[in-house]
Structure 1
Amino acid sequence: MQLFYHPEVSEGDKEVVFPREESKHIFKVLRKKEGDQLHLTNGKGWMFVTELISAGPNSCVARILSSEKEEPAPYFLHMAVAPTKMNDRFEWFLEKATEIGVQEITPVICDHSERKVVKLNRFERVLQSALKQSLHTRFPVLNEPLSFKEFLEKDHLGQKFIAHCEDDAHKNLLSKRLESKSQATILIGPEGDFSSEEINLAKEKGWEPVSLGHSRLRTETAAIVACHTAALINESE
């Protein structure tokens, strides 16, 4: 099954008009024609089955035959991750995290961050592609980048973890501390790790230090390990 994404479609609609780029892909690449069925999501949990009633390179129109809302995941994971120096590595994280099933992402600019500016428009396209590839129906929330201190000032419900590389007698494995069917926010630092000041500030504000294992991981790898840990904990229930 191939999934299409259209954020403006709602459950009460009878027809959907695909944008030009999507129409071009449907008509010229996939060679779809009138009468063919397409699956579509609006990224809000809805899956639509549609039938093409008009197909062309500039505009495709489909009749909505049925719609069904899928149940959300039994947990909510917010990943706060420092952007990597190389954009493609952060985009890889976005892609894989979406495939695994992250619900919210915030780029966090830290003391040791080498990349201070990110392009959310490009990140949105990566998320959209991953959503369609993985056949998910819920689009992750992608927040504007914040400084580390700004992020800590926000209200965060549920468990709060900071995964850092410094020696810490109080660090436990994330897999031992993360609760199933709950809400959690996990902070992942830049290539040079969080600064000692950032770690201490997070602890003062109630963030629990955790380890992701014995290996020293790249930023994007650590973020994926955290996402996968949350998914596995909830799937094992």
Structure 2
Amino acid sequence: MNVFYLPTAQIGTISFPEEESKHIVKVLRMKEGDGFCVTDGKGSLFDAELVDAHPKRAMAELSNQRAGYDIRDFKVSIAIAPTKLNERTEWFLEKATEIGVDEVKLFASFHSERRAANVERFKKIVVSAMKQSVKSKMPLIEEMVPFEKLVKQEYKGQKFIAWIDDDVKEKLCDLYKKGDNALVLIGPEGDFSKEEVELAKEYGFVPVSLGEARLRTETAAVVACHTIQLINQMK
């Protein structure tokens, strides 16, 4: 099923911007009368029929709005220190969107190799992954902030910090409570400093392990996201 993104989608006749129009008409070679789906990125999925196959302003008739198509009762938030190589962070964003992430917080910490992030580029990555995996809710990507500011932000739910340390015995899969909102902090390749971990603990974050394997930043973030989703899918 082909899915297209239009934030202003609603029942009735709609027109697509040039980029999506070109993809519909030139790349997929759709013709008038062909069917597909449209998401508004806010939780609704629509049935669509192409009524004007114009390569710059394609138009479709939307019907059968399915509000709350894949909305969950819990939220998954991942806070990550962007990797030195952008493609690794982009890989995480793609996979986390497929698995199901609601919010991605970007931060810079003591050992961070990257102090700035192209959020607009990241948004394009999640839009593409959202369409590919037939999701109806686009993950929120926040602007990058210092670690100290991040941990002080209010969050309603369980808060964890994934930390590689011999003293950290408890695992995320054992401490996370099914149905709760969860925020997991994932550090840079050099991990968090002890001072950062202590600060996070002061603000209610619980140090956890993601398992026995030593993981890259982007892999750890995907594992954290998948762990929470898997626990919530278990009976």
Smaller-chain TM-score bracket: over 0.9
Task: State the distance in 2 between where 1:81 and 1:39 align.
Answer: 32
Partner of 2:81: 82
Q: CA deviation at 1:140?
A: 0.5
Task: State the distance in 1 between where 2:116 and 2:136 align.
Answer: 29
Task: State the distance in 2 between where 1:134 and 1:142 align.
Answer: 18
- Give the stretch that moved more between structures: 84-93 or 33-42: 33-42
Q: Matched residues, percent identical?
A: 48
Asked if the contact 2:70/2:136 (under 8 Å) is kept, the reply is no
Task: State the distance in 1 between where 2:5 and 2:33 align.
Answer: 19
TM-score, scaled to structure 1: 0.96
Partner amino acid, structure 1, of 2:75: F
Q: CA deviation at 1:207?
A: 0.8
Partner of 1:110: 109
Q: CA deviation at 1:210?
A: 0.2
Task: State the distance in 2 between where 1:193 and 1:24 align.
Answer: 43
Partner of 2:52: 54
Task: State the distance in 1 between where 2:206 and 2:27 align.
Answer: 49
Provide, for residues 134-161 of structure 1, a one-character-per-residue CA deviation record: whole Å limited to 9, x for no partner.
Answer: 0011111111111100001110111000
Partner of 1:182: 180
Deviating runs (4+, > 6 A) in structure 1? none
Which of 20, 23, 26 matches 2:21?
23
TM-score, scaled to structure 2: 0.97
Q: How does 1:1-237 map to 2 (within 5 A)?
A: 1-10=1-10, 13-69=11-67, 70-169=69-168, 171-237=169-235
Task: State the distance in 2 between where 1:34 and 1:72 align.
Answer: 31
Q: Aligned-residue CA RMSD in angstroms?
A: 1.0
Partner amino acid, structure 1, of 2:109: C
Task: State the distance in 2 between where 1:87 and 1:218 align.
Answer: 14
Q: CA deviation at 1:71?
A: 4.8
Asked if the contact 1:74/1:234 (under 8 Å) is kept, the reply is no
Q: Secondary structure at the match of 1:126?
A: helix
Structure 2 unpaired stretches of 5+: none
Q: CA deviation at 1:34?
A: 1.2
Q: CA deviation at 1:8?
A: 1.5
Q: Secondary structure at the match of 1:172?
A: coil
Partner amino acid, structure 2, of 1:15: T
Q: Secondary structure at the match of 1:93?
A: helix
Task: State the distance in 2 between where 1:49 and 1:206 align.
Answer: 44
Task: State the distance in 2 between where 1:154 and 1:204 align.
Answer: 12
Provide, for residues 164-199 of structure 1, a one-character-per-residue CA deviation record: whole Å limited to 9, x for no partner.
Answer: 112225x41100001111111100000000011101
Q: CA deviation at 1:92?
A: 0.2
Task: State the distance in 1 between where 2:227 and 2:187 align.
Answer: 17
Q: Secondary structure at the match of 1:26?
A: helix
Q: CA deviation at 1:54?
A: 0.7
Partner amino acid, structure 1, of 2:102: Q
Partner amino acid, structure 1, of 2:99: I
Q: CA deviation at 1:204?
A: 1.7
Q: Secondary structure at the match of 2:45?
A: strand
Asked if the contact 1:48/1:65 (under 8 Å) is kept, the reply is yes
